[in-house]
Amino acid sequence: MSRNPIDAKKIAYGGTGLVALLFFVCTLFLLLYGFSAYIIRSQIDLTTASTGNNAQNNNTIDVNAAKNLDKLIHTIEKNHRIESEIADTNRKLYDIEFNYSLAKSEMTSNTLTITQSNISVANDISNSIQEIQRSLKTTEYQLHERQVKDILQEVNKEDSAGRVLFVNTREHLSLFKHKLDNNSESIPTFEEASKKIDETFEAIATYEDTYFSLRAVNKDKDYEAKKLELNKKHEEDRLRKLLSTQNDISKTLPPESEFVFSSLNLLGGTLLFFVKLPTIVLTLIVTIAAGGLASLVSFTRKFLHKNNRQVGVGTLLSNVAEGVAASIGIFLFAGTGMLMLTQGGANAPTNVELSPYMVAFLAFLSGFMAESAFKRIEDAGRDFFKTKNDPDDGDAGNQGPTVQI
């Protein structure tokens, strides 16, 4: 049994249907959010959006409510940014406190290590001096009483900074070892005494290495701690300013402002994005979407419903482009005042704006009947550019252009 070959026309037909579905979803999305945003801007509880005391006390609608709605959204977004900055500043302060405590703790630990090392080497020196003196007791070579006193005084020296480097001990033992080396043959216990002196030098050298390395670390940690203190002061000043600004903003916000904002901030802020657009932009969006949707419906009725497999994505795109172009033409006609498609705005009757409902309706019709719409636009353009010298003009040249759609 042989398989049927793949029908390329069927694939193209199915692809055209998928593209048409995608266009349908996009235009429906724009219409839904565009009209929702327009309705919210026009009919939302304006007394909530208004920040005027008179409007709130007298339960009247402020004539600048639309502006106040924009101001409300801007103020709440600013308040949210400040809240985020406050949280970020608190996190920074926590990190600064943690790092400062860590640096101070390490400095304390290093100082304690120096102190313990100091005590340990002091005990070793004291024991070594006693053993040296005991090993040389039967000879005439011993540390002088003054030298022993200086060494033990240095060993028992208390220094809170841990700066005991045993300078006198090293000097006295070096001179004494040189004396023993010169008379080594006459000293029976020379080897024992010399070994103890060398062990004492090694203990002092080990202590000094520990001392200088930890003191260098503490110096760096002290610089880090001072730097953290300056950063902490800077962040605390910034936090005070942010809290003060937040308090001032909170005084200007109506009680239900957060509820209004949260209701607009659904679906990741998509609706809020449309609400913040000017009404003229919303009108343009719904006009283009309506024209595109109508041309899409016209296309499906003419071709897809009739199971016409000769059409493709190119035909679809061409129809949608014509519908969008026709809808833009309707919008431009309305915007230039050639069509009376207006309604009162927030400051009516002084402020007049395009009615998105009527413009979108005509855009839908023009998209559905793009050929007729373009013919009307062509007739309107021909009438507009007529002059009195035109043989078919009659007296129209003395009168302004008259367009009826």
For position 129, what pLDDT does the model report? 83
For position 46, what pLDDT does the model report? 45
Phi/psi class of residue 45: alpha, beta or left (left: φ > 0; alpha: ψ in -120 to 50)? beta
| CA–CA distance, 57 with 66 (Å, rounded to integer) | 19
pLDDT tens column, 288-344: 888 888 888 877 777 665 555 566 677 778 778 878 887 887 787 777 665 555 554
- In the predicted model, what is the mean pLDDT of residues 73-99? 91
| CA–CA distance, 364 with 294 (Å, rounded to integer) | 5
Task: Report whether 353 contacts 331 (CB < 8 A).
Answer: no
CA-wise closest residue to 282 among 77, 66, 72, 79: 66
pLDDT tens column, 102-134: 999 999 999 888 888 888 888 888 888 888 888
Q: How many other C-beta atoms lie within 10 A of the C-beta of residue 62?
A: 18
Residue with tokens 């029908």: 7
- The answer, yes or no, to whether residue 355 has pLDDT greater than 80, is no
Provide the pLDDT confidence category of residue 402 given band limits of 50, 70 and 90.
very low
- The answer, yes or no, to whether residue 10 has pLDDT greater than 50, is yes
| CA–CA distance, 370 with 325 (Å, rounded to integer) | 9
Provide the pLDDT confidence category of residue 44 given band limits of 50, 70 and 90.
low
Mean pLDDT score of the chain? 75
How far is residue 157 from each of residues 166, 200, 353, 355, measured CA to CA in Å? 10, 17, 92, 94
- The answer, yes or no, to whether residue 165 has pLDDT greater than 90, is no
Q: Which uninterrupted H or E stretch holds 354?
A: strand 352-354
Q: Which residues contact 315 (CB under 8 A, 6 or more apart)?
A: 16, 299, 303
* Tokens describing residue 353: 């704006």
For position 182, what pLDDT does the model report? 82
For position 294, what pLDDT does the model report? 83
> What are 354's strand-pairing partners?
342
Task: Report whether 356 contacts 287 (CB < 8 A).
Answer: yes
Provide the pLDDT confidence category of residue 164 given band limits of 50, 70 and 90.
low
Which residue did the predictor score with more confidence, 46 or 309?
Answer: 309
Q: How many other C-beta atoms lie within 10 A of the C-beta of residue 51?
A: 18
- The answer, yes or no, to whether residue 187 has pLDDT greater than 80, is no
| CA–CA distance, 182 with 171 (Å, rounded to integer) | 17
Residue with tokens 């200088």: 212
| CA–CA distance, 52 with 35 (Å, rounded to integer) | 27
The residue type at 266: L
> What are 353's strand-pairing partners?
343
pLDDT tens column, 246-299: 898 888 777 766 666 776 666 667 778 888 888 888 888 888 888 888 888 877
| CA–CA distance, 158 with 240 (Å, rounded to integer) | 46
Which residue did the predictor score with more confidence, 386 or 304?
Answer: 386
Q: Phi first, then psi: give them for residue 101, nearest 5 degrees.
A: -65, -40
Task: Report whether 280 contacts 359 (CB < 8 A).
Answer: no
Percent of the chain with pLDDT over 90: 14
Concatenated DSSP letters for 86-116? HHHHHHHHHHHHHHHHHHHHHHHHHHHHHHH
For position 348, what pLDDT does the model report? 44
| CA–CA distance, 49 with 336 (Å, rounded to integer) | 31
For position 140, what pLDDT does the model report? 74
What one-character DSSP code corresponds to residue 394?
Answer: T
The residue type at 117: S
CA dihedral 85, 91, 96, 102 (to 10 degrees): -170
For position 125, what pLDDT does the model report? 84
- In the predicted model, what is the mean pLDDT of residues 230-253? 91
